Amino acid sequence: MDENSIKYERQRQEMVRRQIEARGVTDPKVLAAMHKVPRHLFVSDALRDQAYGDFPLPIGEQQTISQPYIVAEMTQALQPGKDDRILEIGTGSGYQAAILAEIVFRVYTIEKIYPLYTQSRKLFDKLRYHNIVTKYSDGTSGWENESPFDGIIVTAGSPIIPKPLVSQLAVGGRMVIPVGDLYSQELIKLYKDEHGIRKTNLGGCRFVKLVGEYGWRA
Ligand code: SAH
């Protein structure tokens, strides 16, 4: 370990304690993943020292890596299990996918901006996340061939819950998605069982927009 990795390790520990545990995230798998994944490698060199701050950061292409707490909250809400196959819409920096990859069997993640798709793929390879499968396309249509999924996480704000995603969710599956207008959304958790769909509202949030056939039109 060089000097920097010790510094970042310490910042990560503080982040988990002050931003995540203090706000009520309790799933030990989520806390361990947040403690392990080197978030500073998912932002540009110039932003490394801010990577563990309590806020989102720009990742280029007018997109952002979410605030650490939001990542932890959404991950916990998904109730990820070690045998799960999870679909993520909106790879972005790749950070959320890496957090999930620490916990579950396999993560499928879709990104529609090409440079973000290639950058994140390179980083997954470098960090040896062999259980992350990436795809360059409009994620609002989901990933039919690989469905059904035990969990689906949408990391961009949508005006509606995209129908294809609901149908690609397994019975017993969970979906977490920010739904609302362009300026603010509610984080919705959806649970599918043999009787149908149950929704709960986890509270307000603000994400960049989900652009696609079943999201916002470009
Ligand atoms: N999970 C990311 C957050 C990225 S921000 C992280 O951990 O860094 C949201 C991302 O969703 C952006 O990269 C944006 O390009 C992407 N996105 C928006 N609409 C999309 C769509 N229809 N399909 C796939 N990705 C989409």
| Residues 6+ positions from 192 with CB-CB distance below 8 Å | 166, 169, 170, 171, 172, 173, 174, 175, 198
For ligand 1, is residue 87 a contact (CB within 6 Å)?
Answer: no
Q: 162-201 pLDDT, tens per residue?
A: 999 999 999 999 999 999 999 999 999 999 999 999 999 9
pTM of the model: 0.98
Catalytic residue chosen out of the listed positions 66, 93, 120, 158:
66
How many residues comprise the chain? 218
CATH fold of the domain at 56-205: Rossmann fold (3.40.50)
What is the C-alpha separation between 192 and 174, in angstroms, rounded?
7
Round to whole Å and give the CA distance between 90 and 154. Answer: 7
Q: How many CA atoms lie within 13 A of 154 on its CB side?
A: 41
In whole numbers, what is the pLDDT of the chain averaged over residues?
97
Contact residues for 136 (Cβ-Cβ < 8 A; gap 6+): 110, 111, 112, 114, 117
Strands 185-193 and 57-60, by their bridges, are: unpaired
Pocket test for ligand 1, best of 61, 78, 91, 182 (most atoms within 8 A of CB): 91
Across 40-63, average pLDDT: 98
Q: Is 147 a catalytic residue?
A: no
Cα 195 to averaged position of ligand 1 atoms, centre (Å): 31
132 φ/ψ angles, rounded to the nearest 5 degrees:
-110, 120
From the CA of 170, how far away is ligand 1's center (Å)?
A: 23
Using a 6 Å cutoff on CB, does residue 64 contact ligand 1? yes
| 43 CA distance to ligand 1 middle (Å) | 15
d(CA 139, CA 157): 13
Mean predicted confidence (pLDDT) in 52-60: 98
pLDDT in tens, 135-154: 999 999 999 999 999 999 99
Three-state secondary-structure class, residue 194: coil
Percent of the chain with pLDDT over 90: 97
Does residue 86 surpass a pLDDT of 70?
A: yes
Residue to probe by mutation, ligand 1, list 137, 155, 165, most atoms within 8 Å of CB = 155
> How many angstroms separate the most distant Cα atoms in the chain?
55
pLDDT of residue 1 exceeding 60, the answer is no
